[in-house]
RNA sequence: GUGGGUGUAGCUCAGCUGGCAAGAGCACCAGAUUGUGGCUCUGGAGGCCGCGGGUUCAAGUCCCGUCACUCACCCCA
């Protein structure tokens, strides 16, 4: 084989489309219900936006971006996440003067140069939600509720939020100092990765999977004891809201997120069985980001959810999305006159909105019937020598096997009636 | 970037300790039914056994290299 898809990318084939259709429809329905509006920034932006927006020392920026120079020698990058681009869109298009909060969502591809594995690709699709301009914890709840409602309506069971607060610029630095202080005392015992984390991203120390490191992290200072009053209140109120709605969640002190811009609330939703990358969505609050990108101080919160991971999760939980609609009529034809009539007939049917197909080439009648069956149509219209002589068509109901003879003029009206009939049933 | 696993028909996979003119199921095509699908039966088409080298009388099978895929780590949806 000469060409194959790029590492970490995947083809979406017809048999998977029912998942995509189902998920997209559910997203549209829920975002509408929650009062979100769709925006789509371009797939690539100037590289500097992501450097600033995501954070220069994050893994995403340091090693995962698809960056290239265009013919004008501009450094461009395929978006490695949605938020920075949406913030740019928000500022550039004057949405910051719109009534607050501004509630936006997007659906599209994300690119990261990573080693692929189960549930992780170099191109994946994200459903992304952002709410700008309101710091009320009720907005945190609202954003989390979009994710919750989506997974519930997709049919997932047994899900729970992982929840944490990572503090804010007022309280986090002091906490991180204490954390580092603690770890400096255990420097001998921690793994190589953790030694790096200690210098570069101390919060991640808590998340290490190495057993000996976990023992150490178990004794580490907990951020909740170091939150400032504002952060503590915010977190407590959010918990009150979640409790009121009886939404299951687990406080996870180890939940930290890799992007620099998060403040206060961070959350994920996990699903088992899709490999070790089990987070179906991840997000949190980023109250300082807009300011960092040149806007006025504006609170914000959002999350991204991987559609490929939703599909993996649905498969794992044996959730069957609705089947796509099948074509309604198939026209089988034998002989030249019938061929012309078939072409005319499917055109007429399609004009009035009925999904009609015909056989191509000179296939045997039997083969055409097999094809009709395989396509899953409700009716086969048969045009053969006899029919052409009588100016009639034989219409066969493929589920009951009944068939009747109709004048040409009666076929389209009959199909309209039959389709309405089946619509009612389903 | 690091470590493990796997590469045989379109898909899922058998091929044990080297002896294969290379198999099965599904899918595809055709026939049984000369104008009637699904079920069944019969037949057909479809493979440089990832690629390159080596060992051997003999390699899909053993060895080396290489590429690809895959799982896991880092990190993330």
- For residue A360, tell me if it sits in a domain: yes
Is 90 exceeded by the pLDDT of residue A300? yes
| Shared domain check, A280 and A336 | no
Higher pLDDT among residues A110 and A361, named by residue: A110
CA of A387 to C1' of B31 (A): 26
User: Which nucleotide's C1' is closest to A275 (Cα)?
Assistant: B71
- Count: domains in chain A: 3
| Shared domain check, A234 and A216 | no
Contact present, A164 and A253 (Cβ < 8 Å) = yes
| Shared domain check, A193 and A259 | no
Is 90 exceeded by the pLDDT of residue A333? yes
The CA–CA distances, whole Å, from A292 to A21, A87, A183, A250, A422 equal 37, 10, 30, 31, 57
CA of A262 to C1' of B52 (A): 51
- For residue A56, tell me if it sits in a domain: yes
CA of A296 to C1' of B19 (A): 79
- For residue A397, tell me if it sits in a domain: yes
Task: Report d(CA A379, CA A415) in Å as an integer.
Answer: 9
- For residue A7, tell me if it sits in a domain: no
Is 90 exceeded by the pLDDT of residue A259? no
CA of A275 to C1' of B43 (A): 44
- For residue A6, tell me if it sits in a domain: no
Q: Report the percentage of chain A scoring pLDDT > 70.
A: 99
| Shared domain check, A190 and A148 | no
Task: Report d(CA A389, CA A224) in Å as an integer.
Answer: 86
User: Which nucleotide's C1' is closest to A276 (Cα)?
Assistant: B72
| Shared domain check, A407 and A263 | no
| Shared domain check, A245 and A266 | yes
Is 80 exceeded by the pLDDT of residue A422? no
CA of A81 to C1' of B45 (A): 48
Give me the residues paired with residue A405 across strands: A394
pLDDT at A1: 65
Is 70 exceeded by the pLDDT of residue A400? yes
- For residue A372, tell me if it sits in a domain: yes
Q: Find the domain containing A90 and state its range.
A: 14-167+227-316
- For residue A323, tell me if it sits in a domain: no
- For residue A324, tell me if it sits in a domain: no
C1' of nucleotide B74: residue with nearest CA = A193
Segment A150-176, tens digit of pLDDT: 999 999 998 889 999 999 988 888 998
pLDDT at A425: 53
| Shared domain check, A283 and A154 | yes
CA of A237 to C1' of B25 (A): 59
Task: Report d(CA A27, CA A150) in Å as an integer.
Answer: 7
| Shared domain check, A389 and A258 | no
Is 90 exceeded by the pLDDT of residue A275? no
| E strand or H helix that includes residue A146 | helix A137-154
Q: Model's pTM, two decimal places?
A: 0.93
Which nucleotides of strand B lie within 7 A of protein CB?
Answer: 1-3, 28-31, 33, 35-38, 68-77
Please say which residue of A316, A344, A379 terminates a domain.
A316
| Shared domain check, A350 and A236 | no
Is 70 exceeded by the pLDDT of residue A426? no
| Shared domain check, A410 and A266 | no
Q: How confident is the model at residue A424 (pLDDT cuts 50, 70, 90)?
A: low
Segment A1-55, tens digit of pLDDT: 678 899 999 999 999 999 999 999 999 999 999 999 999 999 999 999 999 999 8
Task: CATH number of the domain at A150, please.
Answer: 3.30.930.10
Please say which residue of A206, A223, A240 terminates a domain.
A223
Task: CATH number of the domain at A405, please.
Answer: 3.40.50.800
Please say which residue of A316, A350, A372 terminates a domain.
A316
CA of A370 to C1' of B38 (A): 8
C1' of nucleotide B70: residue with nearest CA = A117
Average pLDDT, chain A: 92
User: Which nucleotide's C1' is closest to A259 (Cα)?
Assistant: B76
| Residue written as token pair 């794992």 | A316
| Shared domain check, A181 and A202 | yes
User: Which nucleotide's C1' is closest to A64 (Cα)?
Assistant: B75
User: Which nucleotide's C1' is closest to A205 (Cα)?
Assistant: B74
| Shared domain check, A243 and A161 | yes
């Amino acid at each position: 084989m000469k060409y194959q898809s790029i590492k970490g990318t995947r083809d979406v084939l017809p048999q998977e489309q029912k998942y995509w259709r189902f998920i997209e429809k559910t997203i549209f329905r829920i975002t509408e219900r929650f009062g979100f509006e769709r925006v789509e920034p371009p797939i690539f932006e100037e590289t500097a936006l992501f450097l600033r927006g995501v954070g220069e020392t994050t893994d995403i920026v340091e090693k995962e971006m698809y960056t290239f120079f265009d013919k004008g020698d501009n450094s461009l990058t395929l978006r490695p996440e949605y938020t920075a681009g949406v913030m740019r869109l928000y500022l550039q298009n004057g949405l910051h003067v719109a009534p607050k909060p501004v509630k936006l969502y997007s659906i599209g591809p994300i690119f990261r140069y990573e080693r692929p594995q189960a549930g992780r690709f170099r191109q994946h699709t994200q459903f992304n939600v952002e709410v700008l301009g309101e710091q009320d914890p009720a907005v945190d709840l609202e954003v989390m509720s979009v994710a919750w409602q989506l997974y519930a309506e997709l049919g997932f069971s047994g899900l729970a939020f992982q929840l944490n607060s990572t503090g804010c610029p007022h309280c986090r630095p002091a906490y991180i100092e204490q954390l580092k202080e603690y770890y400096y005392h255990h420097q001998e015992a921690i793994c190589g990765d953790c030694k790096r984390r200690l210098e570069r991203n101390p919060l991640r120390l808590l998340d290490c999977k190495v057993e000996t490191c976990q023992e150490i992290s178990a004794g580490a200072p907990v951020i909740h004891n170091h939150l400032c009053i504002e952060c503590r209140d915010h977190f407590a109120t959010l918990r009150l809201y979640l409790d009121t709605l009886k939404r299951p969640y687990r406080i996870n002190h180890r939940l930290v997120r890799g992007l620099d811009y998060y403040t206060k609330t961070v959350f994920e939703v996990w699903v088992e069985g899709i490999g070790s990358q089990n987070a179906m969505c991840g997000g949190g609050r980023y109250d300082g980001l807009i300011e960092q990108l040149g806007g006025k101080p504006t609170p914000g919160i959002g999350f991204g959810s991987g559609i490929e991971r939703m599909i993996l999760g649905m498969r794992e939980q044996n959730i069957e999305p609705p089947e796509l609609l099948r074509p309604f009529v198939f026209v089988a034809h034998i002989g030249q006159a019938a061929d012309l009539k078939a072409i005319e007939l499917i055109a007429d049917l399609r004009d009035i909105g009925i999904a009609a197909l015909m056989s191509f080439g000179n296939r045997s009648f039997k083969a055409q019937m097999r094809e009709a069956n395989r396509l899953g149509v409700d009716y086969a219209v048969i045009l053969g020598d006899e029919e052409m002589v009588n100016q009639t068509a034989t219409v066969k109901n493929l589920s009951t096997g009944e068939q009747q003879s109709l004048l040409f003029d009666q076929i389209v009206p009959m199909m309209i009636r039959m389709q309405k009939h089946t619509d009612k049933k389903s």
